[in-house]
Structure 1
């Protein structure tokens, strides 16, 4: 698969798993992802957008090599984690929170299970995107589609 296709598939999977993972973690912990009151949706949207952008950049840096290494998935995880924190901080600042409240909102995410979910999602989807590029396979074929010479 080409690197562009792998990045597209992996980034869609990243967003879907991130939203599902944060939602299920919020449900299990009975806590909000961004617990600072009065901020609205801006920190979550900005965090997801920044995490996705950082994930795509990390994956692009990993898959552009002729033989990508699976270690690039760790960079995807780190980029997604830091991107989410920066996005939450920026979203809180845009929502009108003071500097201390914006840092507090990002810090709460950083040291909670929500931060671990973001990093884990980046790791899993980064590994999957690299695997799509490294795997040299063909499309599935029915037995009667094979050439007679084989």
Structure 2
């Protein structure tokens, strides 16, 4: 598969895994993703945007190699994690909550379960994107589409 197509599939997979993971974990633990009061939704949205951007940049860097390695998935997890932390802090400052609330929220994401969920989603989606490029499988074909020597 072409690296650009694999990147698109992996980014969509990352966003879906991250949102579902954060939602389900929040539901199971009965806890807010960002428990800082008065922060609003801007910080979380900007955090997810920067996490997605970090994930995509790290994966694109790894997919451009001649033979992409699965170690790139570790880099995608780290970049998504750091993007989320920086985005939450930056989003809190933009929303008017102030730097103290922003750094408190970012610290809560960094050492709490939301950071682990984002990093896990980055690892799984990054591995999947790399696997799409490394796999040399062809398109599926019906039995009557095969050549005589393949049967």
Report how far residue 148 of structure 1 moved: 2.4
Report how far residue 67 of structure 1 moved: 0.4
User: Which residue of the partner structure matches residue 53 of structure 1?
Assistant: 53
Measured in 2, the distance between the counterparts of 1:135 and 1:89 equals 38
C-alpha distance after superposition, 1:11-52 (max 9, x if no partner): 000001100000011111111111111111101100110000
In the alignment, structure 1 segments of 5+ residues that lack a partner are none
Spell out the pairing of 1:61-140 with structure 2 (5 A cutoff). 61-140=61-140
User: Which residue of the partner structure matches residue 3 of structure 2?
Assistant: 3
- Are positions 1:20 and 2:20 aligned together? yes
Is contact 2:39–2:101 with CA below 8 Å preserved after alignment?
A: no
Report how far residue 149 of structure 1 moved: 3.7
Is contact 2:42–2:92 with CA below 8 Å preserved after alignment?
A: yes
Between the two proteins, the alignment pairs up a number of residues equal to 150
Measured in 1, the distance between the counterparts of 2:25 and 2:50 equals 20
Q: TM-score, normalised by structure 2?
A: 0.97
Q: Secondary structure at the match of 2:148?
A: coil
User: Which residue of the partner structure matches residue 147 of structure 2?
Assistant: 147
Report how far residue 8 of structure 1 moved: 0.1
In the alignment, structure 2 segments of 5+ residues that lack a partner are none
Measured in 1, the distance between the counterparts of 2:139 and 2:124 equals 24
Measured in 2, the distance between the counterparts of 1:129 and 1:11 equals 8
Task: Could you list the structure 1 runs, at least 4 aligned residues long, displaced by more than 4 angstroms after superposition.
Answer: none
